[in-house]
Structure 1
Protein backbone atom coordinates (compact mmCIF):
# COMPACT_ATOMS: atom_id res chain seq x y z
CA UNK A 1 0.00 0.00 0.00
CA UNK A 2 1.42 3.38 -0.91
CA UNK A 3 1.64 6.33 1.45
CA UNK A 4 -0.81 9.13 0.70
CA UNK A 5 0.59 12.60 0.16
CA UNK A 6 -2.07 14.13 2.41
CA UNK A 7 -3.10 12.18 5.50
CA UNK A 8 -5.50 12.58 8.41
CA UNK A 9 -4.33 15.26 10.84
CA UNK A 10 -2.36 17.29 8.27
CA UNK A 11 -2.79 21.05 8.05
CA UNK A 12 -3.70 21.90 4.46
CA UNK A 13 -4.46 24.97 2.36
CA UNK A 14 -7.14 25.08 -0.35
CA UNK A 15 -5.42 26.10 -3.59
CA UNK A 16 -8.37 26.40 -5.99
CA UNK A 17 -12.09 27.10 -5.97
CA UNK A 18 -14.25 29.49 -3.99
CA UNK A 19 -12.41 28.80 -0.74
CA UNK A 20 -8.92 29.39 -2.12
CA UNK A 21 -6.38 30.34 0.54
CA UNK A 22 -8.28 29.00 3.54
CA UNK A 23 -6.41 26.70 5.92
CA UNK A 24 -7.84 23.73 7.78
CA UNK A 25 -7.06 20.35 9.29
CA UNK A 26 -7.88 17.09 7.47
CA UNK A 27 -10.37 15.07 9.52
CA UNK A 28 -10.56 12.06 7.19
CA UNK A 29 -9.40 10.91 3.75
CA UNK A 30 -11.82 8.97 1.54
CA UNK A 31 -10.58 6.86 -1.38
CA UNK A 32 -13.29 5.37 -3.60
CA UNK A 33 -13.07 3.37 -6.79
CA UNK A 34 -15.45 4.17 -9.64
CA UNK A 35 -16.92 1.64 -12.05
CA UNK A 36 -14.42 2.56 -14.75
CA UNK A 37 -11.51 1.66 -12.44
CA UNK A 38 -10.43 5.21 -11.60
CA UNK A 39 -9.86 6.10 -7.96
CA UNK A 40 -11.24 9.30 -6.48
CA UNK A 41 -9.31 10.73 -3.54
CA UNK A 42 -11.18 13.25 -1.42
CA UNK A 43 -10.61 14.74 2.02
CA UNK A 44 -12.88 16.17 4.68
CA UNK A 45 -11.35 19.42 5.97
CA UNK A 46 -12.40 21.18 9.17
CA UNK A 47 -12.49 24.98 9.68
CA UNK A 48 -13.31 25.70 6.02
CA UNK A 49 -16.38 27.97 6.07
CA UNK A 50 -19.71 26.79 4.66
CA UNK A 51 -18.35 23.55 3.20
CA UNK A 52 -17.53 21.86 6.48
CA UNK A 53 -20.95 20.25 6.90
CA UNK A 54 -24.34 19.88 5.27
CA UNK A 55 -27.64 18.57 6.64
CA UNK A 56 -29.18 15.34 5.50
CA UNK A 57 -32.56 13.97 6.53
CA UNK A 58 -33.40 10.35 7.15
CA UNK A 59 -37.00 9.25 6.73
CA UNK A 60 -38.99 7.26 9.26
CA UNK A 61 -38.36 3.52 8.98
CA UNK A 62 -41.14 1.73 10.78
CA UNK A 63 -41.70 2.25 14.48
CA UNK A 64 -38.14 1.54 15.61
CA UNK A 65 -36.29 4.33 13.78
CA UNK A 66 -37.73 7.85 13.94
CA UNK A 67 -36.95 10.40 11.27
CA UNK A 68 -33.97 12.62 11.98
CA UNK A 69 -31.61 15.19 10.51
CA UNK A 70 -27.86 14.94 10.88
CA UNK A 71 -24.73 16.74 9.68
CA UNK A 72 -22.36 15.21 7.13
CA UNK A 73 -18.90 16.54 6.30
CA UNK A 74 -18.43 17.74 2.76
CA UNK A 75 -15.28 16.68 0.97
CA UNK A 76 -12.70 18.42 -1.20
CA UNK A 77 -10.69 16.68 -3.90
CA UNK A 78 -7.07 16.08 -2.89
CA UNK A 79 -5.86 17.82 -6.06
CA UNK A 80 -7.30 21.07 -4.65
CA UNK A 81 -5.33 20.81 -1.38
CA UNK A 82 -1.69 21.52 -0.55
CA UNK A 83 0.18 20.73 2.64
CA UNK A 84 0.63 23.93 4.67
CA UNK A 85 4.00 24.40 6.37
CA UNK A 86 2.99 27.27 8.65
CA UNK A 87 6.13 29.31 8.07
CA UNK A 88 5.19 30.32 4.54
CA UNK A 89 1.89 30.63 2.74
CA UNK A 90 3.48 29.38 -0.49
CA UNK A 91 3.04 25.84 -1.80
CA UNK A 92 4.96 23.02 -0.19
CA UNK A 93 5.13 20.01 -2.47
CA UNK A 94 5.68 16.48 -1.18
CA UNK A 95 7.52 13.59 -2.78
CA UNK A 96 7.72 9.99 -1.69
CA UNK A 97 11.16 8.37 -1.29
CA UNK A 98 11.52 5.01 -2.99
CA UNK A 99 11.77 2.00 -0.71
CA UNK A 100 11.07 3.80 2.59
CA UNK A 101 7.63 5.36 2.02
CA UNK A 102 8.58 8.61 3.77
CA UNK A 103 6.97 11.97 2.99
CA UNK A 104 9.55 14.68 2.25
CA UNK A 105 9.17 18.41 1.50
CA UNK A 106 10.62 19.01 -1.98
CA UNK A 107 11.84 22.54 -1.26
CA UNK A 108 13.60 21.95 2.07
CA UNK A 109 14.27 18.17 1.81
CA UNK A 110 13.14 17.57 5.40
CA UNK A 111 10.88 14.67 6.33
CA UNK A 112 7.26 15.26 7.27
CA UNK A 113 6.20 13.75 10.60
CA UNK A 114 2.89 13.85 12.43
CA UNK A 115 4.47 15.88 15.25
CA UNK A 116 5.65 18.63 12.86
CA UNK A 117 2.31 18.87 11.07
CA UNK A 118 0.21 18.77 14.25
CA UNK A 119 2.09 21.69 15.85
CA UNK A 120 1.00 24.10 13.11
CA UNK A 121 -1.95 26.15 14.36
CA UNK A 122 -4.48 27.92 12.18
CA UNK A 123 -4.26 31.69 12.61
CA UNK A 124 -7.17 33.63 14.13
CA UNK A 125 -7.89 35.38 10.84
CA UNK A 126 -8.56 32.01 9.19
CA UNK A 127 -10.86 30.52 11.82
CA UNK A 128 -14.60 30.57 11.30
CA UNK A 129 -17.27 31.73 13.71
CA UNK A 130 -19.44 28.82 14.79
CA UNK A 131 -22.91 30.13 15.65
Structure 2
Protein backbone atom coordinates (compact mmCIF):
# COMPACT_ATOMS: atom_id res chain seq x y z
CA UNK A 1 0.00 0.00 0.00
CA UNK A 2 1.35 3.37 -1.02
CA UNK A 3 -0.13 6.03 1.21
CA UNK A 4 0.14 8.56 -1.60
CA UNK A 5 -1.20 6.03 -4.13
CA UNK A 6 -4.48 6.06 -5.95
CA UNK A 7 -7.85 5.70 -4.28
CA UNK A 8 -9.82 3.32 -6.46
CA UNK A 9 -13.63 3.47 -6.48
CA UNK A 10 -15.35 0.45 -8.03
CA UNK A 11 -18.90 1.59 -8.58
CA UNK A 12 -21.34 0.96 -11.41
CA UNK A 13 -23.68 3.80 -10.35
CA UNK A 14 -22.17 6.96 -11.81
CA UNK A 15 -23.80 9.28 -9.24
CA UNK A 16 -22.58 7.20 -6.29
CA UNK A 17 -19.05 7.10 -7.70
CA UNK A 18 -19.02 10.84 -8.38
CA UNK A 19 -20.27 11.65 -4.88
CA UNK A 20 -17.58 9.52 -3.23
CA UNK A 21 -14.92 11.12 -5.43
CA UNK A 22 -16.24 14.58 -4.56
CA UNK A 23 -16.16 13.77 -0.84
CA UNK A 24 -12.53 12.63 -1.03
CA UNK A 25 -11.53 15.71 -3.00
CA UNK A 26 -13.46 18.03 -0.64
CA UNK A 27 -11.47 16.56 2.25
CA UNK A 28 -8.31 17.79 0.55
CA UNK A 29 -6.49 14.50 0.02
CA UNK A 30 -3.97 14.66 -2.78
CA UNK A 31 -4.36 11.01 -3.76
CA UNK A 32 -5.55 10.55 -7.32
CA UNK A 33 -9.13 9.24 -7.28
CA UNK A 34 -10.06 6.79 -10.03
CA UNK A 35 -13.58 5.51 -10.65
CA UNK A 36 -13.93 2.14 -12.36
CA UNK A 37 -17.58 1.60 -13.37
CA UNK A 38 -17.15 -1.92 -14.76
CA UNK A 39 -15.97 -4.49 -12.22
CA UNK A 40 -14.84 -6.88 -14.97
CA UNK A 41 -12.06 -4.44 -15.97
CA UNK A 42 -10.64 -3.96 -12.47
CA UNK A 43 -8.18 -6.86 -12.39
CA UNK A 44 -6.49 -5.80 -15.61
CA UNK A 45 -6.35 -2.21 -14.36
CA UNK A 46 -4.85 -3.13 -10.97
CA UNK A 47 -2.13 -5.21 -12.61
CA UNK A 48 -0.74 -2.24 -14.53
CA UNK A 49 2.76 -1.45 -13.18
CA UNK A 50 2.05 2.26 -12.68
CA UNK A 51 -0.96 1.53 -10.45
CA UNK A 52 -0.10 1.45 -6.74
CA UNK A 53 -3.39 1.88 -4.87
CA UNK A 54 -3.71 3.28 -1.39
CA UNK A 55 -7.34 2.17 -0.89
CA UNK A 56 -10.07 0.37 -2.80
CA UNK A 57 -13.71 1.26 -2.21
CA UNK A 58 -16.01 -1.31 -3.81
CA UNK A 59 -19.73 -1.59 -4.26
CA UNK A 60 -21.15 -5.08 -3.79
CA UNK A 61 -24.15 -5.27 -6.11
CA UNK A 62 -22.84 -4.69 -9.61
CA UNK A 63 -23.77 -6.20 -12.97
CA UNK A 64 -21.40 -8.67 -14.65
CA UNK A 65 -19.32 -9.30 -11.51
CA UNK A 66 -20.29 -8.61 -7.91
CA UNK A 67 -17.96 -6.94 -5.45
CA UNK A 68 -17.67 -10.29 -3.68
CA UNK A 69 -16.56 -12.07 -6.86
CA UNK A 70 -14.08 -9.31 -7.59
CA UNK A 71 -12.68 -9.53 -4.07
CA UNK A 72 -12.16 -13.28 -4.55
CA UNK A 73 -10.16 -12.56 -7.72
CA UNK A 74 -8.01 -9.95 -5.97
CA UNK A 75 -7.26 -12.35 -3.11
CA UNK A 76 -6.39 -15.15 -5.55
CA UNK A 77 -3.83 -13.03 -7.38
CA UNK A 78 -0.49 -13.20 -5.50
CA UNK A 79 0.81 -9.96 -7.01
CA UNK A 80 -2.25 -8.02 -5.89
CA UNK A 81 -2.62 -9.64 -2.49
CA UNK A 82 1.04 -8.82 -1.76
CA UNK A 83 0.33 -5.11 -2.26
CA UNK A 84 -1.64 -5.08 1.03
CA UNK A 85 -4.25 -2.68 -0.30
CA UNK A 86 -7.20 -2.13 2.08
CA UNK A 87 -10.43 -3.28 0.42
CA UNK A 88 -13.48 -1.46 1.77
CA UNK A 89 -17.04 -2.39 0.82
CA UNK A 90 -19.60 0.41 0.43
CA UNK A 91 -23.16 -0.70 -0.14
CA UNK A 92 -26.78 0.32 0.24
CA UNK A 93 -27.39 -3.11 1.76
CA UNK A 94 -26.80 -3.45 5.48
CA UNK A 95 -28.41 -6.72 6.44
CA UNK A 96 -26.39 -9.04 8.71
CA UNK A 97 -25.79 -11.67 5.99
CA UNK A 98 -24.35 -9.11 3.58
CA UNK A 99 -22.00 -7.74 6.24
CA UNK A 100 -20.96 -11.23 7.35
CA UNK A 101 -20.18 -12.26 3.77
CA UNK A 102 -18.12 -9.10 3.24
CA UNK A 103 -15.90 -9.91 6.19
CA UNK A 104 -15.59 -13.54 5.12
CA UNK A 105 -14.02 -12.08 1.96
CA UNK A 106 -11.31 -10.51 4.13
CA UNK A 107 -12.64 -6.98 3.67
CA UNK A 108 -10.97 -4.37 5.82
CA UNK A 109 -14.26 -2.56 6.28
CA UNK A 110 -17.95 -2.47 5.45
CA UNK A 111 -19.88 0.78 5.37
CA UNK A 112 -23.37 1.75 4.30
CA UNK A 113 -23.72 4.51 1.73
CA UNK A 114 -25.03 7.61 3.47
CA UNK A 115 -27.39 10.22 2.10
CA UNK A 116 -26.26 13.06 4.38
CA UNK A 117 -23.18 14.65 2.78
CA UNK A 118 -21.57 15.78 6.06
CA UNK A 119 -22.00 12.33 7.64
CA UNK A 120 -20.57 10.71 4.50
CA UNK A 121 -17.61 13.07 4.60
CA UNK A 122 -16.99 12.28 8.27
CA UNK A 123 -16.97 8.51 7.64
CA UNK A 124 -14.64 8.79 4.63
CA UNK A 125 -12.26 11.03 6.58
CA UNK A 126 -12.09 8.48 9.41
CA UNK A 127 -11.39 5.63 6.97
CA UNK A 128 -8.65 7.49 5.12
CA UNK A 129 -7.01 8.83 8.27
CA UNK A 130 -7.02 5.34 9.82
CA UNK A 131 -5.25 3.84 6.81
CA UNK A 132 -2.82 6.75 6.50
CA UNK A 133 -1.76 6.05 10.11
CA UNK A 134 -1.82 2.24 9.90
CA UNK A 135 1.33 0.17 9.66
CA UNK A 136 1.16 -2.57 7.04
CA UNK A 137 3.72 -4.88 5.47
CA UNK A 138 4.88 -3.21 2.32
CA UNK A 139 7.61 -3.65 -0.24
CA UNK A 140 7.56 0.08 -1.04
CA UNK A 141 6.67 2.05 2.11
CA UNK A 142 5.73 5.70 1.83
Q: Same fold (TM over 0.5)?
A: no
**Structure 1 or 2: more helix by fraction:** 2
Give the alignment's TM-score, normalised by structure 2.
0.29
Give the alignment's TM-score, normalised by structure 1.
0.30
**Structure 1 or 2: more strand by fraction:** 1
